Amino acid sequence: MKKYIIILLSLSAVAISGCQKFLDRKPLDASASSTFLSNQSEMEQGLIGTYAAAMWVFPNNTPLLFAVESSTDMAMKRGGNAEDQIAMGDAGPFLFNNSVPTTCWNQAYRLVQRANQQIAGMENGKAKVPVTTFNRIKAEALVLRAWGYYHLMGWFGDIPYYRTMPGVDALLSAKRTPTATIVADMYKDLDEAAAAFDAAGTSAVQALGRVNKGVALGLKAKMAMLIKDYTTAAAASKAVIDGANYGLNPSYRNLFSLAGQQGNANREIMFIQTYPLDVNEPQNWGPILGVPRQVTNSQSSHFPSQQLVDQFEDQAGLRIDASTIYDPANPRVNRDRRLGWSIYMAGDTMVHFASKTAALPYNNLRERTIFGFYTNTRRKFNWNTGVYDNVTTNNDWIGAQAAGIQWQVSATGSIGGVGYVWNKYNDTTQYTFESKVGFILMRYADILQTYAEAKIELNQIDATVTAAINQVRARSGQPAVAAGSQSAMRTIIRRERAVEFAGEGLRLFDLRRWDIYAKANSMPVVGAALNPAIVPARPTFDADNVPNYSASLTTRIAFRNQTRVNSNVKYKLWPIPQSEIDNNPNLTQNLGW
């Protein structure tokens, strides 16, 4: 009971955006009463409280969905942490009391119940507000509630379902509602919201951090994909495409910088978790957690995986196992440019805003470092001389491992990475410890790829499918793909989703939808070449595009000494927090937990 009371009554007082007037206003955090939300001003302020409940973090200021990404095959968290234990499965061990599922459950239900409170309380002042205004405010709450339910179902499957504010008795006796039943209701809610936005003349992007018709229809498509209702998914995503209100930002990198997000070229960003600019807190800790230890003031703990790196094609559009221009001895060259925009590899020049105080010759507020780990030196740009110097000591040096002096959470550490660090969301205008770069929750590229995938699963492969795929590919300079068999097109769209959305929190639901989570997340944790003079064999790939490294295990970085094991059927879903099971005898646990 205590857990549910917290969900019902605790509301975040954090403003969602510092650059948009609507979201700068103080949210009303009190519980609903018979007179609450009795006029438009109160309704608008109450809505801010609902948006505040949609700012999900784990832990502290790390975007929750970025953290969840580290439980998949695309990334890893510092060894032994909650995300790593999930990723390891039986070898973790991934236990029912893991803090990630508990956090996800609590934060998503906080949003659901805050939206329920908003929707119910607004009835108090309905007669005092213009109909279109009332319906627009309600529409935003409906979309936010659906956002919470979408993630709860994707994480846990069938869940307790509330459309109103439940009393204690209802909370303690709630049973699980089938996902299909909830999705059917969400379809109706999102259609209602879309119609209300139209009636109110709501713009395609109201303000960064707020939802609108495009988000409603995009979320409907994602709901449909959750239950493999590909007909509805194709129709909803096509409605967004046909509305012609969105496009792709010509610069992929600008999507992940503050200035680029504020400009939002072609309105690609549809929904985003933003951060206030006029106060120090909250901040986006995602960028600082990706800065390697060879950079001053670094805190690396989230890392990309070898599996992710090997999803990126060569520049001719071929997977690396079929490429004639891919060089295993220099794997960063001749690749899809999204690789370099998302991930730093050995030899890449990194730029970080690592300190607010210049410390010449190497820190002029910005540091330039050539990422490397094969020697105990760092290649640092000397701002006085204009050349790169060799600077002694390198926390990422793999040779230190044998001497027992390696920094464990380095880019090659025993509980760190496997030779790669994140570049995505690294905005050199933002001090990495206080980054205000927003975390994207939905963008138009996802709509295009959702449409393409739904049509492929329906085996309705036509020119609209290849057009949707090729729009996204063209931005990074990748050659267009031609229509092929259903199997061939599946391989393409699944690889595209991996490389386009790396680190953006979509991977877990993709793997579960494709029924390959167990296979994709059951293999040794290995990385870049252990010795640059001994080039690892290229991986082979199976029909589901999952790589196999059995021919190169001894020639790759493997200091973590981990093998992920997720073959148990129970890992298809997360465990419901045990405290919820203890409080409610009618609430059953997921299979195997």
Q: Rounded CA gap, 239 and 264, in Å?
A: 21
pLDDT band at 267; cut points 50, 70, 90: very high
Q: Can you give the pLDDT at residue 5?
A: 31
Q: Can you give the pLDDT at residue 137?
A: 98
Q: Can you give the pLDDT at residue 542?
A: 95
Q: Rounded CA gap, 147 and 168, in Å?
A: 24
Confidence check: pLDDT of 13 > 70? no
Confidence check: pLDDT of 22 > 50? no
Average pLDDT in the 441-469 region? Answer: 98
Confidence check: pLDDT of 511 > 90? yes
- CA dist list (Å): 318 to 86, 150, 315, 349: 32, 34, 7, 26
Q: How far apart are the first and last CA of the chain?
A: 22
Residue 442 pairs in a beta bridge with: 271
pLDDT band at 406; cut points 50, 70, 90: low
**Of 337 and 60, more confident:** 337
| Per-residue b or e along 71-92, where b marks 16 or more CB atoms closer than 10 Å to that residue's CB | bbbbbbbbbebbbbbbbbbeeb
Sign of CA pseudo-dihedral 179, 182, 184, 190: negative
Confidence check: pLDDT of 223 > 50? yes
Confidence check: pLDDT of 28 > 60? no
Q: Rounded CA gap, 388 and 376, in Å?
A: 15
Q: Which tens digit of pLDDT belongs to each residue from 534-588?
A: 999 999 999 999 999 999 999 999 999 999 999 999 999 999 999 999 999 999 9
Q: Give the residue from 499, 520, 501 showing the smallest Cα distance to 567.
A: 520
Q: Specify the CATH architecture of the domain 2-282+572-583.
A: Alpha Horseshoe (1.25)
Q: Rounded CA gap, 451 and 419, in Å?
A: 35
**What is the CA 159 to chain-centroid distance, rounded?**
22
% the chain with pLDDT above 90: 88
**Of 30 and 421, more confident:** 421
Tokens encoding 12:
């975040």
Q: Which tens digit of pLDDT belongs to each residue from 472-505?
A: 999 999 999 999 999 999 999 999 999 999 999 9
Q: Rounded CA gap, 500 and 467, in Å?
A: 16
Cβ neighbours of 255 (radius 10 Å):
24
Average pLDDT in the 324-331 region? Answer: 97
Confidence check: pLDDT of 17 > 80? no
Confidence check: pLDDT of 408 > 90? no
Backbone angles phi, psi at 363, to 5 degrees: -120, 110
Tokens encoding 141:
């709450």
Q: Rounded CA gap, 505 and 507, in Å?
A: 6
Average pLDDT in the 54-70 region? Answer: 96
Q: Which tens digit of pLDDT belongs to each residue from 331-385?
A: 999 999 999 999 999 999 999 998 999 999 999 999 999 999 999 999 999 999 9
Backbone angles phi, psi at 310, to 5 degrees: -80, -5
Q: HEC string of 512-560?
A: HHCCCHHHHCCCECCCCECCCCCCCCCCEECCCCCEECCCCHHHECCCC
Q: Rounded CA gap, 147 and 112, in Å?
A: 8
Mean pLDDT (the chain) is: 93
Sign of CA pseudo-dihedral 426, 429, 433, 439: negative
